[in-house]
Amino acid sequence: MSFAAYLLRCADGSYYAGHTDDLGRRIAQHQSGECGGYTAARLPVARVWSQEFATREEALAAEQQIKGWSRAKKEALIAGDWVRIQQLAWGTKNPLPEHLK
């Protein structure tokens, strides 16, 4: 069995991160409002990123990490822009290393 972490864009432009063992079913539950909570009040939603993991623990760890990210970092993840993710992770108070400039 595999697990997935995912990121949804809600109708109001906000993002929601989650994890599941059945991505298609879970997205359908969010879309129908069955999940309640955050996404039900912001329908429709669209999956903008997902990644499979071997264990639930890995998928949950990815979800929790992404939930702590800024909007800019989430958008870099959606775009697959790994250099930008590194730049944003480096922070504004530290000088960027040459390879990230």
Query: Do 55 and 77 have their domain in common?
Result: no
Amino acid at residue number 97: P
53 and 94 together in one domain: no
Q: What is the pLDDT of residue 62?
A: 98
Confidence (pLDDT) at 9: 98
What pLDDT, in 10s, does the model give residues 23-76?
999 999 999 999 999 999 999 999 999 999 999 999 999 999 999 999 999 999
For residue 94, pLDDT over 80 is answered with: no
pLDDT digits (tens, 9 = 90+) for 49-63: 999 999 999 999 999
Do 61 and 89 lie in one domain? The reply is: no
Sign of the torsion angle spanned by Cα atoms 41, 45, 48, 49: positive
Q: Which residues, including other chains, have CB under 8 Å from residue 30's CB and lie 6 or more apart? A: 8, 16, 18, 39, 40, 45
Total structural domains within the chain: 2
Same-domain pairing of 64 and 93: no
Quote the longest CA-to-CA distance of the chain.
Answer: 48
Q: What is the CATH number of the domain that holds 39?
A: 3.40.1440.10
Instruction: State the residue range of the domain holding 94.
Output: 69-101
Cis-peptide into 95, omega within 30 deg: no
